């Protein structure tokens, strides 16, 4: 029984490509192998940092902005959407043509403080920018606060935006392996291709990943530190080796730590001077084999980063 996706032009074109053994254009970008990756760390306001970055130079922006719910001293911005519209505009400018931009946020805080939730950002992005919305990812965590007046919240959202429709996306890099029993059963099914079964399954846009608890070994002290597992999935699928990942609300510097492990360059900025303390702790936790390949640079030397060359 056909469903709507059988008539979707994109799906039909992808199937034709697959049958001919060709790759989608998103995977044809050159994968720059590099010997050393470079990571810049700056104590700087997000807009000041963005203004320093050349047009079309960044492959992936990981953006986990303040939530505007007074969680910490930094978590307050008047006229939130107006302020956010400025960094969203700059993000569009610095992103490469096949680049990706992900924004973390929640829908739970609607109307709390000057409209600082993801709904108001998505509405602004839809109405006033050229960004293409590729996916809304639901990050479902099993652990969290209890509630009495509503169902306890167990998810946060990640909006994945692209500058053009020819965005880079490496699904194979983040497929999830089937367990042996499922593999065995699927391989008996003549309609399924054995190579596809071996590659693993699409992780879908619902990601069940535990939030870091207080005593997690990943913790470096930042109150809203994101788990490496999420950042890794984003970096591996939406950027390629040798490209640059930017995080202008860097917090614990987890994006740079994962970029180092995955052989990407990175730029991390945060207006809190604790960025340097967190950077040190993150990099101390890395395996020596990654450290020996990484070039770490700070404020006054940031122009040594490859995107400025
Ligand atoms: C939600 S946290 C980011 C957490 C980070 N993703 C992590 O996993 O550790 C937001 C960060 O934005 C920073 N911040 C807030 N306003 C800023 C601004 N105008 N410019 C630069 N950084 C800012 C805060 O200091 C805070 O560390």
What are 211-263's pLDDT values in tens digits? 999 999 999 999 999 999 999 999 999 999 999 999 999 999 999 999 999 99
Q: Could you tell me if the CB of 45 is within 6 A of ligand 1?
A: yes
Round to whole Å and give the CA distance between 96 and 59. 6
Q: 227 CA to middle of ligand 1, Å?
A: 15
pLDDT tens-digit readout, 96-111 = 999 999 999 988 654 5
Does the C-beta of 275 come closer than 6 Å to ligand 1?
no
State how far the Cα of 131 lies from the Cα of 145, in Å rounded to an integer: 34
Q: Whose CA is nearest to atom 6 of ligand 1?
A: 64
Q: Which domains, and CATH codes, for the chain?
A: 35-168+205-308 (3.40.50.150), 176-203 (no CATH)
| 222 pocket-lining for ligand 1 (C-beta < 6 Å) | yes
In what helix (H) or strand (E) does residue 15 lie, and over which residues does it extend?
helix 9-19
Tens-place pLDDT, residues 47-56 = 999 999 999 9
Q: Is any ligand 1 atom within 6 A of the Cβ of residue 278? A: no
pTM of the model: 0.91
Rounded CA separation 275/268 (Å) = 9
Chunked into runs of 10 residues, the chain (309 residues) has average pLDDT values of 63 67 59 89 97 98 83 66 94 98 82 68 95 98 92 95 97 96 94 92 98 96 97 98 98 98 98 97 97 95 92
Distance CA 289, CA 273 (A): 28
């Amino acid at each position: 029984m056909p469903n709507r996706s059988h008539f979707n032009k994109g799906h039909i074109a992808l199937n034709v490509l697959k049958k001919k053994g060709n790759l989608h254009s998103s995977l044809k970008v050159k994968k720059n192998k590099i010997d050393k990756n470079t990571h810049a760390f700056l104590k700087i306001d997000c807009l000041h940092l963005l203004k320093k970055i050349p047009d079309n130079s960044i492959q992936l922006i990981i953006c986990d902005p303040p939530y505007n719910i007074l969680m910490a001293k930094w978590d307050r911005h008047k006229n939130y959407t107006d302020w956010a519209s400025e960094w969203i505009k700059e993000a569009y400018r610095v992103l490469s043509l096949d680049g990706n931009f992900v924004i973390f946020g929640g829908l739970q805080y609607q109307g709390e403080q000057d409209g600082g939730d993801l709904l108001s950002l998505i509405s602004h992005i839809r109405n006033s920018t050229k960004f293409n919305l590729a996916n809304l990812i639901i990050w479902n965590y099993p652990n969290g606060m209890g509630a009495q007046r509503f169902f306890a919240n167990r998810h946060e959202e990640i909006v994945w935006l692209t500058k053009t429709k020819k965005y880079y996306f490496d699904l194979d890099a983040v497929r999830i392996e089937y367990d042996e029993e499922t593999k065995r059963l699927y391989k008996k099914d003549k309609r399924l291709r054995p190579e596809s079964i071996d590659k693993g399954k699409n992780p879908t846009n619902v990601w069940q990943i535990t939030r870091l608890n207080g005593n997690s070994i990943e913790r470096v002290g930042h109150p809203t530190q994101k788990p490496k597992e999420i950042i890794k999935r984003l970096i591996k699928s939406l950027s390629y080796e040798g490209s640059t990942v930017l995080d202008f609300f860097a917090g614990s510097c987890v994006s740079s730590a994962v970029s180092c492990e995955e052989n990407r360059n990175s730029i991390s900025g945060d207006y809190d001077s604790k960025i340097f303390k967190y950077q040190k702790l993150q990099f101390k936790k890395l395996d020596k084999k990654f450290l020996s390949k990484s070039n770490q640079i700070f404020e006054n030397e940031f122009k040594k980063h490859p995107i400025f060359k």
